[in-house]
Structure 1
Amino acid sequence: MNRTLEWTVRVELSQDGGTTRAEAVLDTGTAKLTGQGIARCSPQDPDVPTIGDEVAASRAMHDVAGQLMSVADRAIG
């Protein structure tokens, strides 16, 4: 069986003070999974917004990955 699928992931980031929030949405065409991620800048850390973006986004995508694995586990079992 040959198949080709395209899934998309949209990541939205917002910053407020030293907190970065990310929302990742995986769209499979038949379902959507949404994950959340947060990163906080410690007062003694340098203010480098891209680091917060990367940490929050990776946490949001990790959340989506866990949800996707749960969906697959339920389908198997």
Structure 2
Amino acid sequence: MRRAVEWNVRLYLFEEDGTTKARVVLDTGTTSMTGHGTARCNPHDVDVPEIGDELATARAMHDLAGRLTRVADHDMERVGA
């Protein structure tokens, strides 16, 4: 069986007072899922916004991956796999 689908991912980054928050939204066309991540700059460290973006994004994607894995596990149980 051949099949092709396209899922879209949107990433939103917000920064305020040394804290970066990321929200990543997966849209499958039939459902959407969201992951969240946060990064905080240590007051003793140099503030490099790109590092906060990277960490918050990685954490949001990790959160989303965990959610997607749980949904897949539930779906496999439902079909007896």
TM-score range, shorter chain: over 0.9
Aligned positions of 1:42-53 closer than 5 A: 42-53=42-53
Counterparts of 1:60 and 1:30, CA distance in 2: 21
Percent identity, aligned pairs only, is: 57
TM-score, length-scaled by structure 2: 0.92
Letter in 1 for 2:49: P
Query: Runs (4+) of structure 1 moved beyond 3 Å?
Result: none
Q: Give the Å deviation of 1:23.
A: 0.4
Structure 1: 5+ residue stretches without partners: none
Query: Following TM superposition, by how much is the alpha carbon of 1:62 offset from its aligned partner in structure 2, in angstroms?
Result: 0.7
What CA RMSD, in Å, does the superposition of the two structures yield over aligned residues? 0.6
**Amino acid in structure 2 at the alignment position of 1:20:** T
Looking at structure 2, the residues matched to 69 and 41 of structure 1 have their Cα atoms a distance apart, in angstroms, of 30
Match of 2:72 in 1: 72
**Count of residue pairs brought into register by the alignment:** 77
Unaligned segments of structure 2, at least 5 residues: none
C-alpha separation in 1, matches of 2:10 and 2:46: 28
Question: What is the alpha-carbon distance in structure 2 between the residues aligned to residue 62 and residue 10 of structure 1?
Answer: 14
